[in-house]
Every structure is written in C-alpha cells, then in structure tokens.
C-alpha cells in the first residue's frame, strides 16, 4: 500500500488539497501500478510559524 506524506505551509483551500490528493494518487498508480483504492495520501498543514526558510519563519517572511 503506497503511502505519501505531503508537508505544506497552511493556507491551502479544500479544493487545492483535493487536487493534491487526486494527482498524487494518480502519480502513484501510474508509477508503481498500485490500485487507487490502496493509495493513501496524508497532507500535513504546518503552521507558518513552524516552517523555517533560511533561518526565518515563513510567517516572518510573509509567506
């Protein structure tokens, strides 16, 4: 059972997350031949203050 974990800075819409889940699922189906029903996708919404870029939080950078 393929299992994909996706880490993203918070703020994506439900529609965007749905698209990520659909496209990652299809990519795994295409790449390894897994049945779609066996693919799992877990999106981690990371708070901006918990995501660092070059020593500064994404929140401080206005991301």
Active site residues: 2
Q: Among candidates 39, 30, 33, which has minimal Cα distance to 1?
A: 39
Task: Please answer whether residues 52 and 43 qualify as being in contact, where contact means their C-beta atoms are separated by less than 8 angstroms.
Answer: no
Contact 43, 36 (CB under 8 A): no
């Amino acid at each position: 059972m393929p299992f994909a974990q996706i880490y993203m800075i918070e703020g994506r819409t439900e529609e965007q997350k749905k698209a990520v889940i659909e496209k990652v699922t299809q990519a795994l189906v295409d790449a390894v031949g897994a049945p779609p029903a066996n693919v799992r996708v877990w999106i981690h919404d990371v708070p901006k203050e918990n995501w660092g870029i070059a020593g500064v939080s994404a929140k401080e950078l206005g991301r």
